[in-house]
Structure 1
Amino acid sequence: MTTEQLVEQIKLKNSFLCVGLDVDLNKIPPHLLKEEDPIFAFNKAIIDATHDLCVAYKPNIAFFEAYGLKGWQALEKTISYINENYPEIFTIADAKRGDIGNTSTMYAKAFFEDLAFDSVTIAPYMGKDSVEPFLAFNDKHTILLALTSNQGAFDFQTKLIEGKELYKHVLETSKTYQNSENLMYVVGATKAEYLAEIRTIVPDSFLLVPGVGAQGGNLQEVCKYGMNDQVGLLINSSRGIIYASQGEDFAEAAAKEAKVLQEQMKALL
């Protein structure tokens, strides 16, 4: 999917909502555990109920890998279901990969070619030769971890190096990578006050912003400092939407929570 197609969907739906699919069998409605594939059954219901309210889905790969082969098969079925039934939806493999060049190429093939995701999250610590293999794929997007929403972000990401925070070095250096126009960045919603400075470095890039809802991020603050002329934001909510109910009405409850965020986004647009 191209950036232009993503922007079209944002305008069409009056939404820049991304729904995170972090499936924990201990949290999904108990009646689904009777299904042959409870993970996929849960995802399918959530997707069918929310697809008209969001522009992206973000399966967190760890929540599938944790269940071994069955989890990976559920991931395959989930991404195939989205691509076949809602191809206008932007898909994010939240995998946080990052390794030397030939290994990164194989990770990229796994998510871009085999599973046909539109994008994948990448850790930048190993530098250019771990990122550029992902950037080599046409109409695919590499979402670089820049400033994350967890408390541990302060361990390294905001440390000063030559008078400048490390995350700023990451942003500036990444712009020199080959095919850097395919980059997006993760910036946590709990770091909203940093967004104004981030926008001076990457004014045109899309930012994937987790942390709104359960983690305490404020949508209005994020938009105030992070929105650009093409919106330039994908606001992710996971637990606040998908676990809105543990009853048989879980999909309807998820849609209700997604609608609340979509209406707020519509007003901000």
Structure 2
Amino acid sequence: MDKQTLYNNIKQKSSFLCVGLDTDLEKIPSHLLKEKDPIFAFNKQIIDNTADYAVAYKPNIAFYEALGPSGWESLQKTLDYIPKDIFTIADAKRGDIGNTSKLYAKAFFEVMNFDSITVAPYMGEDSVSPFLEFEDKWVILLALTSNAGSHDFQVLNSEQNKPLFAHVLEKSQQWGTDQNMMYVVGATRGEKIAEVRKYAPDHFFLVPGVGAQGGSLEEVAKYGMNSTCGLLVNSSRGILYASSGDDFGNAASKEAQKLQQEMASLLEQYCS
């Protein structure tokens, strides 16, 4: 999916919602455990009930590969079920030397046909560039994350008196463009999003941390939105586990719709 198509979808749905499919067997409603494929049964209902409000889905690969071959099968069935006009993100956080990255890219882009993949930048250009060789596919590079340990490295200042994440943003724009590269920027950072936006004015940001993790959607839009929206805001637990009963699909729909309605207002305010 190219950038213009993604933006058109955002405008059409008045939404920049990404639903994180972090599907945990220990958290899904117990009545689904009798299904042949409980993970897919859960994901199917989540997709059915949120597709009108979401422009992206983001399966976290760890939740699937931890289940072995059956987990990979559930993941592929889920991916095949997602409507083709909705952007898909493999939250895999890959990043290795060139030959290995090339095979990761082939696995997620050719075999599984994801639109994008999250990538760790620490090993540099040759670990990222193989993912950028695929047309209409995206690298979503970790830039400034919301976990507590991010302070260990990402905000350390260099001899140029710039934080490490700023160097990542500047250097990576020599490898890719705003047409094939996005950045992960945590929602719990607030005004830090504005700082990241200075370094990457035209790129899309994938923003986790809204909802259960405490990030403010209003702040994300205020500091991060650009003329093409430039945001995919992820919600996982707040939508997936809005209910643990038979009504979990309906509850997920209500939570997704609530976010979409807030997003519609923010789009009108900051991106009109």
The two structures have a TM-score, normalised by structure 2, of 0.97
Tell me if the contact between 1:65 and 1:71 (Cα under 8 Å) persists in the aligned partners: yes
Please state if 1:215 is matched with 2:213: yes
Q: How big is each residue's C-alpha offset from its partner over 1:168-216, in whole Å with a ceiling of 9 and x where there is no partner? A: 0000000111566411000000012111121111100000000000100
SS of match in other structure, 2:117: strand
Q: After TM superposition, list the pairs within 5 Å mapping 1:194-233 onto structure 2.
A: 194-233=192-231
Equivalent residue for 1:158?
Answer: 155
Equivalent residue for 1:96?
Answer: 93
Which one is further off, 225-234 or 191-200? 191-200
Q: After TM superposition, list the pairs within 5 Å mapping 1:32-71 onto structure 2.
A: 32-71=32-71
Equivalent residue for 1:186?
Answer: 184
Decide whether aligned partners of structure 1 residues 103 and 194 sit closer, same or farther in structure 2, where only a CA change above 3 A counts.
same
Equivalent residue for 2:126?
Answer: 129
SS of match in other structure, 1:18: strand
Equivalent residue for 2:76?
Answer: 76
Distance in 2 between the 1:205 and 1:251 partners?
Answer: 33
Decide whether aligned partners of structure 1 residues 178 and 194 sit closer, same or farther in structure 2, where only a CA change above 3 A counts.
closer
Tell me if the contact between 1:136 and 1:179 (Cα under 8 Å) persists in the aligned partners: no
State the AA in 1 paired with 2:167: H
**What do you get for the CA RMSD once the two structures are aligned?**
0.8
Equivalent residue for 1:149?
Answer: 146
Equivalent residue for 2:172?
Answer: 174
Distance in 2 between the 1:134 and 1:192 partners?
Answer: 30
Equivalent residue for 1:107?
Answer: 104
Distance in 1 between the 2:246 and 2:72 partners?
Answer: 25
**Which structure 2 segments of 5+ residues have no match?**
268-272
State the AA in 2 paired with 1:89: I
State the AA in 2 paired with 1:25: L
Q: 1:138 aligns with which of 111, 135, 144?
A: 135
Distance in 1 between the 2:246 and 2:190 partners?
Answer: 36
**Which structure 1 segments of 5+ residues have no match?**
none
SS of match in other structure, 2:202: coil
Tell me if the contact between 1:93 and 1:121 (Cα under 8 Å) persists in the aligned partners: yes
Equivalent residue for 2:246?
Answer: 248
Equivalent residue for 2:270?
Answer: none
Tell me if the contact between 1:135 and 1:179 (Cα under 8 Å) persists in the aligned partners: no
Q: CA deviation at 1:137?
A: 0.5
Q: After TM superposition, which residue ranges in structure 1, 4 or more long, deviate above 3 angstroms?
A: 178-181
SS of match in other structure, 2:148: coil
Equivalent residue for 2:17?
Answer: 17
Decide whether aligned partners of structure 1 residues 236 and 128 sit closer, same or farther in structure 2, where only a CA change above 3 A counts.
same
Distance in 2 between the 1:213 and 1:181 partners?
Answer: 28
Q: How big is each residue's C-alpha offset from its partner over 1:122-180, in whole Å with a ceiling of 9 and x where there is no partner? A: 00000000000001100000000000010111010001111110000000000111566
State the AA in 2 paired with 1:151: A
Distance in 2 between the 1:63 and 1:149 partners?
Answer: 20
Distance in 2 between the 1:249 and 1:6 partners?
Answer: 31
Aligned residues: 266
